[in-house]
Structure 1
Amino acid sequence: MYIKKKKDADPLETPKWVNKNKAGVDVNEVAFINWSSGGSNSISAIVSGSSKLDYTYRNFIWNSSLNTRYGINQQESEPLKKTDDLFEINSSIGYQKSKGSMWYYSSRLNFKTQYANGYSYPDTSNPISKFMAPGYMFFGGGMEYGKDLKRLSLYASPLTFKSTFVLDERLANAGAFGVTPAVYDDEGNVLIPGDKVREELGILITNYYELDVAKNVMLKSTTNLYTDYINSFGNVDVDWEVVMDFKVNNFIKATLGSHLKYDNDVKTLVVIDEEASEYGEGGAKVQWRQILGIGFVVDF
């Protein structure tokens, strides 16, 4: 009598949840006592946290993450300055037609804003950004390619909705971050308030790549390219971040990073009348910041 052996159970047949959390603090400090070359005492810190939740079941995947950072800098008698500020939520769901395929039908949601007011220092009386001013939300669907999506992912969406929120009345009236500015009469009175939401429909291409450069040295690159169909098709918004993590041990790490952005809708604000909080619009510029820090990190 022949009895057919039962195949080994596929681990993906059972729903699987994986949760990873990380918290860290980067601190930099410089102090001088009778230093002949001169210098200013300073201390800066960045507190960061992230939480990832991954779900797999058969040919479905669902990945969600929460990222947050806040950094400050203090130099002797100068006012406390903000150096970093982020609140970001990501969620993506994908369907793999066959388990051997490296292509996924995918849909993504991204939302980001900041916690506190931002200023063009040394002026701390007129915020140039606030919580939900701006706030950004992307939502769309397309195709994603990658053998291991946690280390290499290329996503293309021909239909992605982008919403820009500027919920502060003063910044909205000034037309900050690409929203339609207010209409004024000859005496400077507001006839039509500025829009607080700008909506776009366009193409989004994103790429994520991880590379082990050497032992305990990892390179991470994230690139986002977006262009709007209606308003300025072909004018590409760029958001490119490269981070190198140097792992000393399980609790101490060093980070070196570069973040480059360009958004044609984000114009430079020029102060026309400081007392009346009146701003004019300058041109869009390439934005860039560099990060270097040593700190503690805890995985849980």
Structure 2
Amino acid sequence: MVIKSVPQLICSILLLSGLSASAQKTDTAKRDSIKTDTTLLNKLRIDPGKNELPVRVRQIQITPITIPVTLPDYQFSYWHKWTVFNINFNQSGFTKNWTGGGASNLALNVNYDFKAEYNKSPLDYTTEVNLLYGTSKIKGEGLRKTNDRIFYDNKLATQLSKHWLFFGSLTFESQFDNGYTYQDPLPPLLISKFMSPGYLTESAGVEYRPNKWFDLRLGAATARQTFVLDTTIYHNQSDNYGVTPDKTIFNQIAFQGVATVDKDLMPNLHITARYALFIPYTQSLAYISHRIDATLTAKVNKLIAVTVNGSFLYDKNTAPQAQGTEGMGLGMIYKFP
């Protein structure tokens, strides 16, 4: 634009001033608007630091408190006890006109076992009682004894290692009732009675016990006394069960081995067996004696059981040949615990 006169110059200056003022007003308005928006935002802004929950940190103090504890009133016992009582009946009957023949009979067998063990390391004490008696009544023949035994064993042992112990034992054996031999038509002959014979055995040695159901004693220092208090009894041996005639006692020094088994073969089948070996130092090897006693019990239920028992004995001081007895019966059995 070409300014030709002073009035035009003045008009141009005024126009430019107006435009500049307008532009300044516009800029000021914009700045005020931005300032207003910023202030509003600052007012609406949420400061998270001012709205957090207060956190208080306290030092943990642990104070021990003694709480009284009442223990159950249990009593511990080093004793363990077992009791088994068994009674068996056998009966058979025939009418007078039974052409098959036979004689009515009734048999009764009673077996009592008691065992107690005291076990407090290193000591172990065991006592065992076995009482057996049986009788039968046959028509026309009266009562006859079928079983008869008294067995009492005591053992004190001390631990040497895990499976080996040193032991000392005392054992007594005899019978309750008179024993007869029957040879018809001759009258019965008395051959044994209580303490005729009777045996008292003392033994010391080592014991091997690998588990709970097997036990083996080896008694190198063993003494046995055989008693025959009634020297008038009849027997087949001239030395009277090893006792010199007209005397009542016979002493022997020997080696003794005893092995016992007491085990459940099946849940309802149990076996108890005892083998005794006796080797006298003062007699020949022909006088080595062997005895086996075994009982097999099959339970039908808690109170009913079938029992099979047997004994085998070879002792030249008693008889020149081996001896044996066996029995089987169905009856009641009670075991505690």
Common fold: TM-score over 0.5: yes
Matched, 1:85 2:85: no
SS at match of 1:36: coil
Aligned to 2:312, which of 248, 256, 260?
Answer: 260
SS at match of 1:178: coil
Aligned to 1:152, which of 189, 214, 237?
Answer: 214
Structure 1 equivalent of residue 115 of structure 2: 52
Superposed displacement of residue 62, structure 1:
0.2
Q: Deviations over 1:67-114 (max 9, x none)?
A: 11111111111121011111111001111124xx11111111110111
SS at match of 2:302: coil
| 1:69-84 aligned within 5 A | 69-84=132-147
Structure 2 equivalent of residue 66 of structure 1: 129
Separation in 2, partners of 1:242, 1:22: 15
Instruction: State the AA in 2 paired with 1:117.
Output: N
Separation in 1, partners of 2:168, 2:211: 17
Q: Do the aligned partners of 1:228 and 1:234 also contact (CA within 8 Å) in 2?
A: no
CA RMSD of aligned residues (A): 1.9
Q: Deviations over 1:141-165 (max 9, x none)?
A: 011111334x101111111001100
- C-alpha spacing 1:125/1:235, structure 2 compared with 1 (3 Å): closer
Instruction: State the AA in 2 paired with 1:219.
Output: I
Q: Do the aligned partners of 2:131 and 2:149 also contact (CA within 8 Å) in 1?
A: yes
Superposed displacement of residue 48, structure 1:
2.0
Superposed displacement of residue 125, structure 1:
4.8
Matched, 1:292 2:332: no
**Structure with the bigger percentage of helix:** 2
Q: Do the aligned partners of 2:242 and 2:318 also contact (CA within 8 Å) in 1?
A: yes
SS at match of 1:227: strand
Q: Do the aligned partners of 1:15 and 1:57 also contact (CA within 8 Å) in 2?
A: no
Aligned to 1:32, which of 86, 90, 94?
Answer: 94
Separation in 1, partners of 2:279, 2:159: 27
- C-alpha spacing 1:124/1:248, structure 2 compared with 1 (3 Å): farther
**Structure with the bigger percentage of strand:** 1
Separation in 2, partners of 1:156, 1:172: 35
Q: How many residues get paired? A: 256
Structure 1: segments with no counterpart, 5+ residues? 1-13, 182-193, 268-283
Q: Deviations over 1:158-201 (max 9, x none)?
A: 110011000003139963211112xxxxxxxxxxxx11000000
Separation in 2, partners of 1:67, 1:210: 14
Superposed displacement of residue 63, structure 1:
0.3
Instruction: State the AA in 2 paired with 1:61.
Output: D
| 1:128-207 aligned within 5 A | 128-149=191-212, 151-171=213-233, 175-181=239-245, 194-207=246-259
Superposed displacement of residue 19, structure 1:
2.2
Instruction: State the AA in 2 paired with 1:88.
Output: F
SS at match of 2:141: coil
Separation in 2, partners of 1:235, 1:197: 18
Structure 2: segments with no counterpart, 5+ residues? 1-75
Q: Do the aligned partners of 2:127 and 2:154 also contact (CA within 8 Å) in 1?
A: yes
Aligned to 1:214, which of 266, 275, 282?
Answer: 266
Separation in 2, partners of 1:162, 1:172: 23
- C-alpha spacing 1:60/1:177, structure 2 compared with 1 (3 Å): same
Separation in 1, partners of 2:132, 2:323: 18
Separation in 2, partners of 1:74, 1:134: 25
Structure 1 equivalent of residue 171 of structure 2: 110
Percentage identity across aligned positions?
26
Separation in 1, partners of 2:297, 2:220: 33
- C-alpha spacing 1:163/1:172, structure 2 compared with 1 (3 Å): farther
Instruction: State the AA in 2 paired with 1:195.
Output: K
Separation in 2, partners of 1:37, 1:219: 37
Q: Deviations over 1:17-43 (max 9, x none)?
A: 122222221110011234331211111
Structure 2 equivalent of residue 19 of structure 1: 81
- C-alpha spacing 1:234/1:204, structure 2 compared with 1 (3 Å): farther
Structure 2 equivalent of residue 4 of structure 1: none
Matched, 1:235 2:287: yes
Between 1:243-252 and 1:213-222, the stretch displaced more is 213-222
- The structure whose RCO (Cα within 8 Å, separation 6+) is larger is 1
When normalised by structure 1's length, the TM-score is 0.80
Q: Deviations over 1:256-284 (max 9, x none)?
A: 122110111113xxxxxxxxxxxxxxxx1
